[in-house]
Chains A and B, each alone.
Chain A
């Protein structure tokens, strides 16, 4: 069984640019959640996708958007990057929406905005 994978591992972007981060969910998982973890903070919920539809969003502006594909992999897109977007971005997959299902985290993508 393959765990959650994320790419790239890290990247550096300039303020104003756009970035796409990718996440492959664990085998059999149809739900993907994205979190932002700023330095010294706990992860913050960005949004969640279930069977290719967005299912809830945290307190993030519209320039944070996402997609989920038929194979349940997912992308996080951030437009008009700001310095404060520098963070570790985590995705987590689960078997479904129920709170009974454990979320399995990927290793994260470290984004630095200069």
Chain B
């Protein structure tokens, strides 16, 4: 079974400071990893996925198979980054997502 762990529940950072959200996964195969974001009063939406290897809104995430991690990083936080962030995994071949509990990010002006 897939399991995704996000250890910190709430992360408060000052504007301009770096942000790192930790995500670890457990699955014996080769899962696909995602970060989803939910801004206030908006629906859950995809932020980025590991296979695309792109930076979205300044965020990047690197899949580390040795550490089974997929941490999300942004060098300089902006106020508009305040949101709930969920790490999710998906078994290759189907699109059923297993989510972590989420991180609430608050960027202090």
Q: Which residues of A contact B (CB under 8 A)?
A: 4, 31, 33, 35, 40-45, 48, 55-56, 58, 90, 94, 97-99, 101-108
* Secondary structure of the A contact surface, majority rule: loop
C-alpha gap A99/B105 in the complex (Å) = 28
- A22 nearest CB across to chain B (Å): 16
- A59 nearest CB across to chain B (Å): 9
Complex contact A105–B43 (CB within 8 A): yes
Q: With contacts A98-B93, A99-B92 known, what are 11 further pairs, Cβ within 8 A?
A: A33-B96, A35-B97, A42-B99, A43-B97, A44-B99, A45-B97, A48-B96, A101-B95, A103-B95, A104-B45, A105-B45
Query: B95: which of A33, A41, A58 is its contact (CB, 8 Å)?
Result: A33
Q: In the assembled complex, which residues on chain A have CB atoms less than 8 Å from the CB atom of B32? A: 99
Complex contact B98–A45 (CB within 8 A): yes
Q: Is B101 an interface residue (CB 8 A)?
A: yes
Complex contact B99–A43 (CB within 8 A): yes
Q: Ordered nearest first, which 4 A-B pairs have the shortest CB separation?
A: A42-B99, A105-B44, A43-B99, A107-B43
Which of A40, A97, A105 has the most CB atoms of chain B within a 10 A radius of its CB?
Answer: A105
Complex contact A98–B97 (CB within 8 A): no
Which single residue of chain B is at the shortest CB-CB distance from A3? B43
C-alpha gap A97/B102 in the complex (Å) = 25
Which single residue of chain A is at the shortest CB-CB distance from B42? A107
Known: A90-B44, A105-B45. A99 touches B99 (CB 8 A): no
Which single residue of chain B is at the shortest CB-CB distance from A108? B43
Query: A41: which of B93, B98, B101 is its contact (CB, 8 Å)?
Result: B101
Complex contact A43–B96 (CB within 8 A): no
Complex contact A94–B44 (CB within 8 A): no
